[in-house]
Structure 1
Amino acid sequence: MRIPVQELVEMYKDNIYAAAFNICKSAADAEDVVQDTFLQYYMTKKEFDDEKHIRYWILRVAINKAKNIQSSFRRKNEMSLEDYVETLTFETPESRELFEEVMKLPEKYRVVIHLFYYEDYSVKEIAKILRTTESSVKVRLSRGRAKLKDALKEEWEDEQ
Structure 2
Amino acid sequence: MQNNLRSDTFLYDAMESCGDAVYRLALCRLGGRADAEDVYQEVFLRLLRDTTDFRDDEHLKAWLLRVTVNCCNDLRRSAWFRRTAPLEAAPDAAAPVQDGNDELWQAVRTLPDDLRIVVWLHYVEGYGTDEIAPLVGCRPATVRTRLHRARKKLRIELEGNDDGQPEQLEPTEEYQSAR
1:91 and 2:99 are equivalent in the alignment: yes
Distance 1:101 1:38, change over 3 A: same
Q: How many residues are treated as equivalent by the alignment?
A: 153
1:153 and 2:159 are equivalent in the alignment: yes
Taking only aligned residues, the RMSD between alpha carbons, in angstroms, comes to: 2.2
Q: Deviations over 1:35-85 (max 9, x none)?
A: 110111011122222222111111000111011112212335432243747
Matched residue, 1:82:
91
Greater helix content? 1
**Further displaced range: 116-125 or 65-74:** 65-74
In 1, are the aligned partners of 2:92 and 2:106 still within 8 Å (CA)?
no
Q: Which amino acid aligns with 2:108?
A: V
Gaps of 5+ in 1: none
Gaps of 5+ in 2: 1-6, 165-179
Distance 1:154 1:70, change over 3 A: farther
Structure-1 separation of matches of 2:44 and 2:156: 38
- Identity over aligned pairs, percent: 31
Structure-2 separation of matches of 1:105 and 1:64: 19
Moved over 4 A (4+): none
Q: TM-score, normalised by structure 2?
A: 0.77
Q: TM-score, normalised by structure 1?
A: 0.86
